Structure 1
Amino acid sequence: MILYRYINRQLFATTVVVTFVLVMVLVSGRFIKYLADAAVGNLAADVLFQLMAFRLPEFLQMILPLSLYIGVLLVLGRMYVDNEIVVLRSGGISDSTLVRSMLPPVAVTCVVIALFSLYVTPKGDAEVARIFEEQQNRSVLELLTPGRFHVRGSDSGHQVTYTEGFNRSAGALSGVFLSDYRRGATEAEGAEVLAVWATEGKLVERYGMSYLALSDGYQYQGKPGEANFRKVHFEQALIRIGKEKQVARPPKVRSWSTADLYASEDNDAQAELQWRVSLVLLIPIMVLAAIPLARVNPRQGRFGKLIPAILVYMLYLGALLVTRSWISDAPQGQVPVWMHMGWVHLIAALLVALLYLWPGWRARQRYERGRRA
């Protein structure tokens, strides 16, 4: 049908544009955060794009339903402003026809979101967790950029690391400088600095910890502001530069497969399973709500009800998130029957049905009043 193709073509173009804008905003913010972590040495620069690629399905599963919802509002809002809906109504086109015209994009979006939320996103979260685990177990020197000072600090002091050259494959460094500044427990104790300069260094593993084997260097130790620094020359020295390797922690429930969530009776697992299914159910309910919410007066403009409609969407999504939190925080095995996301979807569906019935009910009321008058 020509009407179906007309609406779907506009809906597709609008949804793609809205999705692109929202993805760029969300991805840019997350990438800046990861870039800041890489700048201070908490992440290696070569894993940034891997992290973004594995996080992209999670971003899309949250953005696509909203983009489709906004797309329906914008497309129908423009048709109301241009009086196209008035012409369609006079030709016998009802809300049910508009609903049928949007079935293909809604079905495609539901399939994509189901694929992401039930399969792709958990695998991506597992890979992100694995990368962060690897980064935590990497030594400070493995995150170094040759020719730049690497500073890490805390309330008790800070450490500075520098190398002129770094052969990562061999784990060999040249022109190594290490400085450890420690504040005293009291003001009377003051601070102390331990600095080391060596011609060469090599990363080695001993007892599950990272060490730096230094060759032909000097060690300086003393208190800032005093002249009694101790200088020691060494031919070989072994310095611990990393913490003990951490045992891999069990993955969070968001990284579990959907089959594992279904088989588990844990509250967190059940909340995550309901959340994944809710992302799929969210789409048809909100698209159905968008059709009556998009009704605007031509004088209002196509954006007349956009903000209230988005607030409705955020309220629905917020109710799902609150219910998810309640299920996770409930005592194990004692989740009440009413504490289920299915009730949120049922209430939303009833409110959507009310949106469709309300205009007809008001028209009948006006007719009855006019007849009595």
Structure 2
Amino acid sequence: MILFRYLTREVLLTMSAVAGILLLVIMGSRFIRYFSDAAEGDIPVTMLGSLMVFHLPGFMELILPLSFFLGILLAYGQLYMNSEITVMVACGMSPTRLLKVTLLPASVVAVLVGVCSLWLTPYGALQTETALEEQRSRLDVSVLAPGRFQEFGGGRTAYIGGFSSDGTEMLDVLVHEQNQQGDEGTHDFVTRAASGYQETRLETGSRFLVLDDGERYGVTPGEQNAERLIFERYTLRLGLNRDRQELDSLEYATTPALWSDPRPRAQAQWQWRAGLPLMVFVLALMAQPLSRVNPRQGRFGKLLPAVFLYVAYLSLLLAVVDAIGSGTWSTALGVWPVHGLFLGLGLLLLWRSQRKGMR
């Protein structure tokens, strides 16, 4: 029991450190991209936190298997360097028992990966895409930045000079609309107003941009005629609030829905999600023999070949998933031959390691 707690602690601590570094790098890159969009006025700053939280399960389902794989390599490699494995063997620790100790934390990691891949990741992707789609399809006062031309869907571009003191009204508003239907055909419309604000009608869910004291021009490129309208109040309909049911991509579908969907793309997506927890056990099986290093080699002696092996595993898995989705690979075979191939490789490495003995 003492050895089990010691080995598990070493593996999990190393895995946590690796996962933290990888998560910081990946989430930092995504945060910079979203922050750039917020600076351009495409999304409000208040959405950044929720978007990063919704992306977290998708990051974790890929980071956890790799970090656990590297955690075993680094933790056991250090034990070989310090000759602690030699002492354990002298005390009766067999390779089979060491493998059992390794598979116990692997089960915990596999459960976490399964929860992320089967439930949390599609839910987070759906929430993210819903929020971005709603933001792209509406003009939100919190998104607009003074002094910039910004698109807000439907071929519309808006420009505002500033906001009122309480922030509820836009000042010096200019709206350009392309290919809109007018009284005498299709025109481009330019609407200028002294002020404006957004209004949502709860009974219909429609959103409107209400403009006060301005002019509206309808022009056709290449023609001299133009329509002019002077108004005290003019209302532009921006659109309806969208429901998340409109997003029918398989990436956002629930796992039970994918299971019952016979289409190749749905089966490819389901097998990808179900295969990630299995990948944790296969990587744990390969990591134990790969972690056995000579003290003169150093704990990083086999780290680079192990990383290449992981990249080959993941790349081949993604290639088969794409082949299933395109119909060039049988859904009955699916991704399971890839897992079986690397499972056999792990068993071969483990057998060779046991033949040489644990020194």
TM over 0.5: yes
For 2:342, the equivalent position in structure 1 comes to 348
Check whether the contact 1:213–1:237 (CA below 8 A) recurs between aligned residues: yes
**Which residue in 2 is equivalent to 1:254?**
251
Is 1:286–2:283 an aligned residue pair? yes
Letter in 2 for 1:343: P
Hey, what's the Cα distance between the residues in 1 that align with 2:39 and 2:208? 23
Q: CA deviation at 1:255?
A: 1.5
Q: Distance in 2 between matches of 1:5 and 1:141?
A: 55
Q: Which moved more, 1:92-101 or 1:343-352?
A: 92-101
Alpha-carbon distance in structure 1 between the residues aligned to 2:199 and 2:109: 51
Q: What's the offset of the Cα at 1:137?
A: 1.9
Deviations 1:29-54 (A, max 9, x none): 11111111122222122221111111
CA contact (8 A) 2:74 2:300 kept: yes
Output the amino acid matched with 1:160.
Y
- Superposition map of 1:181-196 within 5 A: 196=192
Aligned to 2:197: 202
TM superposition score normalised by structure 1: 0.79
For the pair 1:267 / 2:259, whether they are aligned, the reply is no
Q: How many angstroms does 1:339 deviate by?
A: 4.8
RMSD: 3.4
Tell which deviates more after alignment, 172-181 or 117-126: 172-181
Deviations 1:199-231 (A, max 9, x none): x32335799975533323578999xxxxxxx9x
Counterparts of residues 25-104 of structure 1 (less than 5 Å): 25-104=25-104
Distance 1:195 1:337 in 2: 55
Gap change, CA 1:193 and 1:212, over 3 Å in 2: closer
Q: Which amino acid aligns with 1:328?
A: G
Cα distance between partner residues in 1 of 2:318 and 2:136: 30
Which of 174, 178, 185 is 1:178 aligned to?
A: 174
Equivalent residue for 1:305, pick from 282, 285, 302 = 302
- Residue by residue over 1:62-117, the C-alpha shift from the partner in whole angstroms, topping out at 9 and shown as x without a partner, is 11111111110000111111122222233332321211112321111111111221
The residue that corresponds to 1:329 in the other structure is 326
- Give identity over the alignment, percent: 31
| 1:100-139 → structure 2 map (5 Å cutoff) | 100-139=100-139
| Whole-angstrom distance in 2 between the partners of 1:216 and 1:13 | 65
Distance 2:216 2:252 in 1: 46
Deviation string, structure 1 residues 111-132 (Cα, Å, up to 9, x no partner): 1111221122222222112212
Rg (Cα) greater in structure: 1
Task: Specify the alignment match of 1:165 in structure 2.
Answer: 164
* Aligned position for 2:147: 149
Unmatched tracts of structure 2, length 5 or more: 179-187, 220-225
Q: CA deviation at 1:164?
A: 2.0
**Within the alignment, does 1:236 sit opposite 2:235 as a pair?**
no
Aligned match of 2:181: none
Unaligned 5+ segments in structure 1 are: 183-191, 223-229, 364-373
Distance of 1:324 and 1:55 partners within structure 2:
21
Deviations 1:263-288 (A, max 9, x none): 11011110111011110100011011
Deviates more, 1:53-62 or 1:156-165: 156-165
Aligned equivalents of 1:208, 1:109: Cα separation in 2: 44
User: C-alpha separation between the residues in 2 aligned to 1:4 and 1:113?
Assistant: 22
CA 258–166 in structure 1, closer or farther in 2 if over 3 Å, else same: farther
Deviation string, structure 1 residues 136-162 (Cα, Å, up to 9, x no partner): 2211545225xx323337xx9975333
Q: In structure 2, what is the Cα distance between the partners aligned to 1:26 and 1:319? A: 22
The normalised TM-score by structure 2 is 0.81
SS of the residue corresponding to residue 339 of structure 2 reads helix
Residue in 1 aligned with 2:315?
318
Query: Contact 1:293–1:305 at 8 Å: present in 2 too?
Result: yes
Partners of 1:2 and 1:31 in 2: CA distance = 42
Query: Quick check: 1:215–1:234 contact (8 Å CA) kept in 2?
Result: no
The Cα of 1:357 is off from its aligned counterpart by 2.3
